[in-house]
Amino acid sequence: MDMEELVRQQLVALGENPNREGLVKTPHRVAESLKFLTRGYRMSEEDVINGALFQAESDHMVIVKDIEIYSLCEHHMLPFFGRCHIGYIPRDKVIGVSKLARIADMFARRLQIQERLTQQIADSLMKHLNPLGVGVVIEARHLCMMMRGVEKQNSFMMTSAVRGCILQSSATRAEFFNLIQSNARHT
């Protein structure tokens, strides 16, 4: 059964008439929307990185903050959204800066939980960059918690994943967290 037919059946199960004017094209629109929102399943890390790894003699922390992320919670298929902060300490190569955002987006555009998303980004960077260390922090708002259930409008969730020297050295870990918190904006 195709996605459009499933959406039509869902509309009927909700008590709607999928043939009424406002809903006639909804099954098609929802199917296209879900394909777009879950496009990360059809992407690979290698395709996203696309060779954008460059030799560099640098062992200083590289941080990209406030990368917007949008995902769908795997438990309710409701959106969660927020900001991702990524830092790494190169060993002998750096990655094109836009690729950090693209890696975060690739994993976010799957049915997810925030905890796994944070881990996947960190693990991907460790695998492809072989850096001295990686740190990833995500702060996000979850509509499954805001629109239903406990209905807490001002809540947001923070997760972190640290690897290598950022995990092993309390001073390096403190530097990472201090840098991402400087002038931090909350979603």
Residues 42, 109 contacting (CB under 8 angstroms): no
Asked about 144 being catalytic, the answer comes back as: yes
Asked about 114 being catalytic, the answer comes back as: yes
Of 73, 85, 120, 139, the active-site residue reads 73
Asked about 84 being catalytic, the answer comes back as: no
Decide the pairing of beta strands 62-73 and 79-89: antiparallel
Of 85, 139, 142, 165, the active-site residue reads 142
Length of the chain in terms of residues written: 187
Of 5, 75, 168, 181, the active-site residue reads 75
Of 74, 115, 168, 181, the active-site residue reads 74
Asked about 28 being catalytic, the answer comes back as: no
Asked about 68 being catalytic, the answer comes back as: no
Q: Is 114 exposed, middle or buried (0-12, 13-18, 19+ CB in 10 A)?
A: buried
Of 16, 76, 119, 175, the active-site residue reads 76
Of 84, 85, 114, 120, the active-site residue reads 114
Q: Catalytic residue numbers? A: 73-76, 114, 142, 144
